[in-house]
Amino acid sequence: MWKEIVSLFRSEGALQEAYDESILMLMASRSMFDDSVAALHAEGTMETDIYGRDRRINKYERSVRRKIVTHMSVSSKPDINLGLVLTAIVIDIERIGDYTKNIVELASAVEGPFDGLELHDEVLSIEGMLGKMFSDIVPALEESDETRARAIISSHGVIAEKVDKHIHSLTLGEALVGRSGHAATVALYLRFLKRVSAHIKNVATSVVNPYYRFGFREKEAGQ
């Protein structure tokens, strides 16, 4: 289904531009995420204005919506479904930018480089999985690659399970014992990573699901 949708995007001027801007939004979000994580692991400062970059992503989202409205207004046969698909995708991409800002704000509040102590390796593992998800989401969309999309969806499931487990242990005081400040910081950061992962997963579901199931698990055969 997604392959046909992309083909339709590329056959109509306003929708083509809206789709291209959606891809640019994804790439910009990935760059923001990488820089925010680097700032957290360094000294909490960034050389670029993350808020200005977030405003540019918001500008992309508004532009995509305007182009969808243009398509609906001037096309002799406007396709409402295509507009809904793009609208759903850019909402998730914009939310990635918001959580990226949260990570930067966390970095500015932490004294010195982020230290997850005994959970540090687990945090790095989750960051690595997210990096792979970001690397795969654009080709998954551009190439209608269902294998990549399903791998992204599966990775989110693993990340969600890991994060929930660690936050539970932090809440119960079973991890980072006696370090409540560190525990709160790690729990908050893990939560942000999980939400970024969820929004990438939502975008990936567009490749394997019909519109009404975007963001949800793919139906199994016979369901």
CATH number at residue 97: 1.20.58.220
Residue 220 in any domain: the answer is no
pLDDT band at 181 (very low <50, low <70, confident <90, very high): low
Residue 159 belongs to domain spanning: 2-213
Residue 222 in any domain: the answer is no
pLDDT of residue 222: 46
Q: Distance (Å, rounded) from C-alpha 80 to C-alpha 85?
A: 9
pLDDT band at 170 (very low <50, low <70, confident <90, very high): confident
This prediction has a pTM of: 0.89
Per-residue pLDDT tens for 43-74?
656 666 888 999 999 999 999 999 888 877 87
Q: What share of the chain is helix, strand, coil (3-state, %, to 5)?
A: 80, 0, 20
Residue 218 in any domain: the answer is no
How many structural domains are present in the chain? Answer: 1
Residue 223 in any domain: the answer is no
User: Which structure tokens are listed for 93?
Assistant: 């991409």
Residue 70 in any domain: the answer is yes
Sign of the C-alpha dihedral, residues 79, 80, 82, 83?
Answer: positive
Listed in sequence order, the residues at least 6 apart from 55 whose beta carbon sits closer than 8 Å to its beta carbon are none
